[in-house]
A and B are shown apart, each in its own frame.
Chain A
């Protein structure tokens, strides 16, 4: 036990920059994924809510494919498959992986947003329409501001999922927390200490976020 603690301290002293770089990698990849995934997911949710048959049909297929296949396979598809199909797109490995994660996130986020919008009482839309408000204004000023209360907490949970999901990128040695573990592990031939360090950083990050979500949910209840 004492030995383990000593190893952890030693490794941290020597490799802290590797872990901190990994932390930074995990944070920026998941941030970018959540933000762009939300933009894409919102568009997809809105397409679905148009009730235009062909659009909802395409969206359903998109969501089914992404939710029905492993994220890892999707990463391989973008990393190895898409450059073959579209050679003119020249992205780095890291960029392809981020694109894959964004596409993956967008499907889950689209469902969160669609559910949040549909949970708003239909009477709200009817009242706005009966006043002669346009579809756009009805969505923008009446439905969406009310839907946000349902969406925001679920979106933050999606953020936690994303932070864990970024570990998949370590397979391609994109510098994030799990890559940091692998780097230190292969340099020191120690397993448990670097595993502990990476694990604790993930835990702290996600614990902090889930506390943030709780505060957010409480605030929303209070302002009700």
Chain B
């Protein structure tokens, strides 16, 4: 990853209010994510990390400001958001796997329906992905038979099946039993190391330090500090960052 890599996501003065503009959750964020970059977002609860991430693929509609993806302003009117979302995977804290579909169908449904990939081809690809995360023998099972860690690996693979340009993770290990956290983090790390552009909101400071190219510290709706893991964790300049790190480390 170098500074010359192409900008994949650009955010300009992004603001998001809730409750009829009474709650200002994002107060003007300008940021760039480059191709291949691994960016961790840390910060106190309620600082707007999830909201920021969800604005990137427009699961939340920004109150004002612009989001560009591959140079296209996706916040513009009359944009086919679905088409762009196909290239932005997302993994949720609570997995959100589809309980009424088998593991295999969870993975193939979107590629078959939205990218018109032939079923056989989609299933072959899905099996390959399942092998990579050690779930190939679960293909015909329903998600209720999976552990939390397995569900989350399924959710990651489901996102990968669309061949996205970036994957957004929102606290992917927060709902997991401690013994399952490592498996999921390993999958994410492998993905990040393979060059996948990754944005991850996390409370796993050790992980953020290890995998990130850059760390964003969010506080009260703004990015209060941004830098390499070294800069943020070893030499934080903003007193808010110092205070936050002193509580979580």
Contacts and interface: CB of A to CB of B under 8 A. Distances in A.
Interface of A: 121, 123-124, 126-134, 137, 141-142, 145-146, 224
Given A124-B98, A130-B59, A137 B113 contact: yes
B83 A123 contact: no
Contacts of B198: none
Given A127-B98, A145-B100, A133 B90 contact: no
Given A132-B86, A133-B82, A127 B113 contact: no
Interface in B76-114: 82-90, 92, 94, 96-100, 109-110, 113-114
Given A131-B114, A131-B158, A133-B114, A124 B85 contact: no
B122 interface: no
A154 to B, nearest CB: 19
Given A133-B82, A137-B113, A146 B100 contact: yes
Contacts of B87: 132
Chain B, interface size: which category?
Answer: 20 to 34
Tell me what chain A mostly uses at the interface: helix, strand, loop, or mixed: helix
Contacts of B85: 129-132
B40 interface: no
Given A129-B59, A224-B144, A141 B113 contact: yes
B199 interface: no
Contacts of A131: 85-86, 89, 109-110, 114, 158-159, 162
B212 interface: no
A146 B101 CA distance: 10
B57 interface: yes
A130 B99 contact: no
Nearest to B115: A132
A221 to B, nearest CB: 13
Contact of B57 (A123, A130, A133): A130
Nearest to A124: B96
A123 B92 CA distance: 8
Contacts of A146: 99-100
Q: Which 10 A-B residue pairs are closest in the complex by CB-CB distance?
A: A132-B86, A127-B96, A130-B90, A131-B110, A123-B96, A132-B85, A132-B82, A145-B100, A137-B113, A132-B114
A130 B88 contact: yes
B96 A126 contact: yes
Contacts of A132: 82-87, 110, 114, 162
Given A127-B97, A132-B85, A132-B86, 4 more contacts: A123-B94, A127-B96, A130-B57, A130-B159
Contacts of B88: 130
A188 B181 CA distance: 80
Contacts of A141: 109, 113
Nearest to A131: B110
Contacts of B57: 130
Contacts of B100: 145-146
B15 to A, nearest CB: 21
